[in-house]
Amino acid sequence: MNAIISASDLAGALSGPRPPVLLDIRWQLSVAKAAGEPPFDGRAAYEAGHIPGAVFVDLDRELASAPGGNGRHPLPDLEVFGAAMRRAGVSADRPVVVYDGGQGWAAARAWWLLRWAGHPDVRVLDGGLAAWEGPLRTAAVPEPAEGDFSPVPGALPLLDADAAGALARSGVLFDARAGERYRGEVEPIDRVGGHIPGAVSAPTAENTGPDGRFLPAEELAARFRALGAAEGREVGVYCGSGVSAAHEVLALAVAGIPAALYVGSWSEWSSDPSRPVAVGPDPQ
């Protein structure tokens, strides 16, 4: 099953006999406080206009635990996550489509969590809300019937810090952040800049075109193969806090390449001064 869905196919599915559960995951990585601006409000954006029938899910509160030693967006408490999904109407036998404002990172985080927790049928709206050409709803907030989804983790591979460090040596570990953060030239969020020794720079932004839609599967596959994802080689991905890396895992899935996610990512790795840090354009 394809992990993404086009806006036209979603419109058809929503009008069909078995419409998917639709989740709105509006979120943005923000360093706005440093600029004196208010943080992005995903719920306000949802209330200003969402695809009819969509239920808002809060990434920071429902798709992650509180920031701490395990990173800025650690895995959520399974009871909190499961309750949020059931509140949104998610059931094990009903397809789910997730979308965000267009960047795709937040939607991919929801996709990855649901798939990791055992849901068999989850897709991301390719291009997000920006690709949707149908009507938007503002006033009506749906109250779906309670779903029955119960998370059973382990359906997708997961890395911790030790496993990520080892994979950078034994397989290929992609760093999905912007190149300047990988090289250690700037670090606007975490304690120190640089990358996990042995990791390969593979910015998430290069997986999509100007419209925010994924590149064709064959182009994605060629990109990842050129970066070292040879057939039979174990692949993992990390980013700053496990959000944009989920988008890269999704891109790899579109390309037909399975990959593990290091959820703690650089925010966890760099918080421990005993862990090694590499700088510059080369993996080592």
Radius of gyration, CA atoms only, the chain: 18
Q: State which amino acid sits at residue 212.
A: G
CA angle, residues 107, 100, 186, in degrees to nearest 5: 75
Helix 244-254 to helix 217-226 angle, to the nearest 10 degrees?
110
CB 26 within 8 A of CB 58: no
Catalytic annotation, pick one of 172, 239, 253, 261: 239
* Residue 242 region by backbone torsions, left for phi larger than 0, else alpha for psi between -120 and 50, else beta: left
* Length of the chain measured in residues: 284
- Of 168, 170, 175, which Cα lies nearest the Cα of 195? 175
User: Is 239 assigned a catalytic role?
Assistant: yes
Active site residues: 239
